Amino acid sequence: MNDPSAEPAEVSLSGPQDIFRLITPELEKVELELLHLSASSISLVDHVNHYLHSSGGKRIRPVLLLLCAKMCGCHGQEAIRLGSVMELIHTATLVHDDIIDGAQMRRGRSSVNATWGNEITVLMGDWLYMTAFSVALQERSFRILDLLIDITRKMVEGELVQLERNGRIDITERDHLEMVQRKTAYLFAGCTRLGGMIARAQPAAEEALAEYGFNVGMAFQLVDDMLDFTSSEAVLGKPVINDLKEGKLTLPLIYLLEQGNPKHARKLDAVLKSSIISDDDRDEIISWVRNFGTLERTAKKAVAYAEDAKRSIADFRDSVYRQALIQIPDFIVSRDR
């Protein structure tokens, strides 16, 4: 199972697609596993799962798990199964989040709740969670189950904290970063830690991998915060300034409010309370975050997390998989979708 000689001899990594090609066989197996796990004798479950699977996704969480496992010398089937588990958990969180947020679009098309209604959607989210845990149970590892339970609990806590803070204008940078940790970063950290766990990595190496994933997750979400203002609906697959319309203050707006302009505070408070934003208001708010330097400040924070991620794995043996993991944070902070 642990065979460093299985590493490709020479691979050029000049972009994200090169990294995906590095683990294409494993990713294809993850896709097949997801299709297999999504199949059900209940036609409605099967139909919704097919809709979810066909909508695609970046698969960044399985990618991180697979690369970490391979960097530590593990090339076995466990990484395929657990990569699928983490993608199922991620999908379940998206399905439930869309209900809570009343989202109408996901990945460029109608969300599951907009298509089938909240009752079916919440049950589908539960089904995905239980399927993920059922597959994980096959590993017969209490450590793996403990990790997945802890991650899921933290994500639910993050969503509860988010709901309690929705509509409030007094959210601080610390508040927001704590929420990002729970809702995003801990799942990333779980993926990278699992890569080390199944490779039987030493405790210090496992902790380093978890730290890497945590920082990648933080950077990933902060870039999402920025894309809500800099991208377009066609590229994002959902409306722009969507977080603000849902009553959420993200880091570019938190930084904007820190500057103390009463006009900014009045406008944002009104949008947060009404969940309504006109085209003129949208354009004005976008101009504020662009002209007052808050996007640059958010980008600087994301880059700092990316650099922390790269430092976390600096002591691992050099390999093409380590090179890929070193490059991923840079690709994340430069992404446009």
pLDDT tens sequence across 35-63? 999 899 999 999 999 999 988 788 999 99
Supply the pLDDT for residue 56: 77
Question: Do 271 and 288 contact (CB within 8 A), yes or no?
Answer: no
Question: Do 113 and 99 contact (CB within 8 A), yes or no?
Answer: yes
The pair of three-digit structure tokens given for residue 63, joined into one six-digit string: 């990618």
Low-confidence ranges of the chain (pLDDT < 50): 1-5, 9
Helix/strand/coil for 40 = coil
Helix/strand/coil for 252 = helix
Supply the pLDDT for residue 6: 55
Helix/strand/coil for 10 = coil
DSSP 138: T
Supply the pLDDT for residue 75: 84
Helix/strand/coil for 58 = coil
Residue type present at position 16: P
What is the CATH code of the structural domain delimited by 11-333? 1.10.600.10
Q: What is the 3-state secondary structure (H, E, C) of 5-29?
A: HHCCCCCCCCCHHHHHHHCHHHHHH
Supply the pLDDT for residue 336: 75
